Amino acid sequence: MPKFEPVCRDMMQAKFGQEFDLILCVFAYHHVPDSNKAELCRRLRQWSKPGASLIVLEICLHADLIAQYYEEVKTHLNHGQYAGICRKFLDWTMQQPVDGSDNSEWKVPKARLLSDFEAAKWRLRNEQSVWTPQGLPTDTGCFYFQFTTDGRR
């Protein structure tokens, strides 16, 4: 059984005394201001072993489609005991605070995400759309990406 030790650190400050085979970056990249996104990608690269995998799950959106995206998500939340609270959460998410608080979000289009990770020498191995709302462009929505390193720094 692999050893698993949870740690809680600021990903823009953290230093690790080891490198990792697998890194998951799940709905985290959009919490970093656009000007720091490339630095996050470089940091993830520094923490990885040669040949490591990086799994990124992310919501990719042009700024002008954020409201439309979340309105579509809300239309799929019409039943179930948690629908009400989920809708409230989505209304709050749609407000997109960009004040640097812990809740701040900076969602970007898919092309920007791919360019940031590729610039940090992450190679795209697999990409899948998880969900794109009807009526929105196909490069919009929730995506799964698998990147790998080619062993070089």
By CB under 6 A, name the binding residues for ligand SAM.
10-12, 26-28, 31, 102
Comparing CB distances to ligand SAM, the nearer of 12 and 63 is 12
Comparing CB distances to ligand SAM, the nearer of 99 and 135 is 99
Q: How far is the CB of 66 from ligand SAM (least distance, A)?
A: 14
Comparing CB distances to ligand SAM, the nearer of 12 and 50 is 12
Residues 6+ apart with CB under 8 A from 73: 90, 133
Distance CA 54, CA 21 (A): 8
Pairing of strands 141-148, 123-131: antiparallel
CA angle 50, 51, 55 (to 5 degrees): 115
Comparing CB distances to ligand SAM, the nearer of 26 and 85 is 26
Q: How far is the CB of 138 from ligand SAM (least distance, A)?
A: 23
Question: Which region, left, alpha or beta, applies to residue 60 given φ > 0 means left and ψ of -120 to 50 means alpha?
Answer: beta
Radius of gyration, alpha carbons of the chain: 17
Q: How far is the CB of 151 from ligand SAM (least distance, A)?
A: 27
Q: How far is the CB of 118 from ligand SAM (least distance, A)?
A: 22
